[in-house]
Chains A and B, each alone.
Chain A
Amino acid sequence: AQSVAQPEDQVNVAEGNPLTVKCTYSVSGNPYLFWYVQYPNRGLQFLLKYITGDNLVKGSYGFEAEFNKSQTSFHLKKPSALVSDSALYFCAVSTLKDNFNKFYFGSGTKLNVKP
């Protein structure tokens, strides 16, 4: 069965420190991997995606993610956290079934950046 796991419900980090939000996946075939961010009472905003190519993907707001095929992981990272990065982060994987994308979302990780 296809699945996405975000093992941490919450991540706390001090402003200026590096941050990592973890994501692992289990899918058959080649996955498309995504990170989204959600601010309170808003929809999800696209941060970055991995389709193919370079394992290190750079996205919006200084975020990046590294695709690790052997560990089936796609962790989100940022070298220096900002208080404004505090939000809910979702990892998602998409696979093709009958030529249609099917998305699977993780349960979300709440990132708290303290001043």
Chain B
Amino acid sequence: KAGVTQTPRYLIKTRGQQVTLSCSPISGHRSVSWYQQTPGQGLQFLFEYFSETQRNKGNFPGRFSGRQFSNSRSEMNVSTLELGDSALYLCASSLAPGQGGGYTFGSGTRLTVV
């Protein structure tokens, strides 16, 4: 079956712009989580969605937001981009929270802010 699909794979944006990243989970997976990965900070949890509701949120400013659609696809949006937002953004899906299962990760979207 198809894995977790993230689009686009690469993105270059200018400071001050906004960006939307997309994640399609594995069929049947209803939980989607987002992570930011940078060399200096490692993996930082952004948020988790289940059944179109945000269930967990990390310590990121309000410029970072997300949503989940009824088909479990998720988008995250970053407004007023800063240079420090340059990172690999990873999406991960799982069947449902609370089942002890692990994540399946997408290949990520590499965002470069110039």
Interface of A toward B, CB cutoff 8 Å: 32, 34, 36, 41-46, 49, 51, 90, 92, 94, 96, 99-103, 105-108
Contacts and interface: CB of A to CB of B under 8 A. Distances in A.
Contacts of B35: 105
A51 B50 CA distance: 22
B43 A90 contact: yes
A106 B101 CA distance: 18
Q: How large is the interface on B (under 10, 10 to 19, 20 to 34, 35 or more residues)?
A: 20 to 34
Contact of A46 (B6, B42, B103): B103
A54 to B, nearest CB: 16
B82 to A, nearest CB: 22
| Secondary structure call for the B interface | strand
Contact of B33 (A99, A103, A107): A103
A39 to B, nearest CB: 10
Interface in B25-73: 33, 35, 42-43, 45, 48, 50, 55-56
Contacts of A99: 97-98
B29 to A, nearest CB: 13
Interface string B55-97: 1100000000000000000000000000000001010101001
| Secondary structure call for the A interface | strand
A35 B33 CA distance: 17
B4 interface: yes
B103 A103 contact: yes
A82 B64 CA distance: 40
B112 to A, nearest CB: 13
B43 A108 contact: yes
A43 B106 contact: yes
Contacts of A90: 43
Kindly list the 7 A-B residue pairs having the minimum CB-CB distance in the complex, ordered from nearest. Answer: A43-B105, A100-B97, A44-B105, A105-B43, A99-B98, A107-B42, A43-B107
